[in-house]
Structure 1
Amino acid sequence: MKNSPLESYESQWVTSVGKAFLCERTVLRGKDLHHELGDWDWFSVYLYGITGREFTNNQIKMLSYFWIASSYADPSIWPNHVAALGGTTRSTASLSSMAGLAISEASIYGRRPEKRALDFFYRAIKALDDGGSLATIVENEIANRSTVYGYGRPLAKLDERIPHTLHKAKSLGLDNGRHLRVAIEIYHYLKEKKGLSINISAINTAIVADIGLSPEEYQLFLTPCFITGIEPCYIDARDKPEGSFFPLRCSSIKHDGKPRRSW
């Protein structure tokens, strides 16, 4: 390992993130967890742990609302469905919940599209500042990436969360940021030219861009957010007869392949 970049890490871990001095105190990003952060709400501490920054009360309320607005306790939604399968097979709460969360990081829904949408808004604003037109920016995005994340919805034309989120943003004084205004302008362009609707990813990430989270910080903040919908679905399946979550009898399977074979 001599002269390896790993050599300096062999016997120590230099960090500014935190340290537990057992029987004495615990530090999180330079603040005493129990004395300085003990009166903070959970979301504020969580965001501070991710970013090392403090946010206003209204920003925290807005970001926590994103979690509330995604708390769909519907087992037909994929992460909830997986957790319910865990419940019906009598798996543990932790394993079932983590399995549900793991598939919330999909390509067409959940965290990954929102991270890409946030990245797009940052790039769009920079391009506008450099003199580009909105139409050119959008068309280049489609040409280079085949889609504009935040617009269109895989299973529905409308997103019922949008009016509630915009109302919440207005009540908190967070409805007039530049990124949000541009997001709405892009929606009008795509609606007229491509017939695409806007989904909650565009609204949320535009507000987040105005707040100032990076795509990586936002992804970390949102990673557990589906848990509020996942847990009730796990409990519901766990408390019903074992194996009762949409069982399928063999006679219900339509098969047009090879006939039954003797083994």
Structure 2
Amino acid sequence: MSNALLDYEGPLRTRMGACFPGERAVFRGHDLHADLKDMDWIALYAFGITGRRFSPQQTALLHALWTYTSYPDPRLWNNRVAALAGSARSTGALGVAAAIAVSEASIYGWQPEFAAADFLVRAHQRMLAGEALQAILEQELQLHKRILGYGRPVATLQVDERIPAILARMEHEHIAQGPYLQLAFEIEKGLARMGRQLPINYGGVVVAIPLDMGFSPRECYLFLLPSFMAGMPPCYLEASQRPEGATFPLRCSQLRYEGPAWRLWQQE
């Protein structure tokens, strides 16, 4: 048995919390039903991730980051999973859980957002050390071919409709743009100077704002995981109200097939 397993054998030691049935529940050292009983759920969620408390204005902005990307459109890749689960008469828990799981797709979803947060932190540190942003962008593109958080497959040259809404909410809450959000917009300009017309998308903004609140890239990722969820139950419900299998039905004759011609199965 490894030394690590021996070191951790026995009662679980945790700083996060514990449940004492019939007595109390402890959440990061605080009594959940006494000390934290009036805490907003998003504030509690962020507190669980970061161990820090946020002002009412910051909490309202964190709420908005989720609200403004809650699209109940079953054509979206993750919502489609929830809808198909309803169509197949699966349970809501399985449908929503699967939809959240595919939300971290490697092309669009939380994997790119995590990478965008990581790049913003690295770029910011390098600029503080005296490097020019343009040189940083050129090196990043040479190494990774792209910078995540810029461009949008469905509307590449258009402004992401969520960005003006979240900037207006920042202004309403009297929260100034911090260094990471300012850097995110400077990167957009830097890419344009290189001939790459890739407007910043919500992924670049949605991580820059928490970064400016002191989140780490990993904490940004954990905070954003459920942020699409509000749009999923409507898709599941509507599909479950249709006849079974009647969500996105497609006849084979509607497919344009260019593979091998029809052939008989021969058993050897």
TM range (shorter): over 0.9
Aligned residues: 262
Residues of 1 paired with 2:52 and 2:99: CA distance? 30
Residues of 2 paired with 1:248 and 1:83: CA distance? 18
What residue number does 1:138 align with?
137
Residues of 1 paired with 2:74 and 2:88: CA distance? 15
What residue number does 2:113 align with?
114
**Structure 1 119/255 Cα, relative in aligned 2: closer, same or farther at 3 Å?**
closer
Is residue 83–residue 96 contact of structure 1 (8 Å, CA) maintained in 2? yes
What residue number does 1:259 align with?
262
Is residue 85–residue 91 contact of structure 2 (8 Å, CA) maintained in 1? yes
Please point out which of 235, 240, 247 is paired with 1:238: 240
Deviation at 1:123, TM superposition (A): 1.0
Is residue 150–residue 199 contact of structure 1 (8 Å, CA) maintained in 2? yes
1:197-221 Cα shifts (integer Å, max 9, x gaps): 1111112222222111011111111
Residues of 2 paired with 1:73 and 1:36: CA distance? 36
- Kindly provide the amino acid, as one letter, of the partner of residue 166 in structure 2: T
**Structure 1 128/22 Cα, relative in aligned 2: closer, same or farther at 3 Å?**
same
What residue number does 1:222 align with?
224
What residue number does 1:202 align with?
204
Matches within 5 A, 1:146-225: 146-157=145-156, 158=158, 159-193=160-194, 194-225=196-227
- TM-score normalized by structure 1? 0.95
What residue number does 1:41 align with?
40
- TM-score normalized by structure 2? 0.93
Residues of 2 paired with 1:53 and 1:262: CA distance? 64
SS of 1:26 mapped into structure 2: strand
- For structure 1, the residue ranges without an aligned partner over 5 or more in a row are none
Is residue 211–residue 220 contact of structure 2 (8 Å, CA) maintained in 1? no
Residues of 1 paired with 2:54 and 2:144: CA distance? 33
1:148-196 Cα shifts (integer Å, max 9, x gaps): 1111112212211111111111222223311111211111121232122
Residues of 1 paired with 2:152 and 2:176: CA distance? 22
Residues of 2 paired with 1:50 and 1:58: CA distance? 18
Deviation at 1:260, TM superposition (A): 4.1
Runs of 4+ off more than 3 Å: 253-256
- Kindly provide the amino acid, as one letter, of the partner of residue 165 in structure 1: I
- For structure 2, the residue ranges without an aligned partner over 5 or more in a row are none
- Kindly provide the amino acid, as one letter, of the partner of residue 220 in structure 2: Y
Residues of 1 paired with 2:144 and 2:176: CA distance? 28
**Deviates most, 169-178 or 45-54:** 169-178
What residue number does 2:123 align with?
124
Deviation at 1:228, TM superposition (A): 0.4
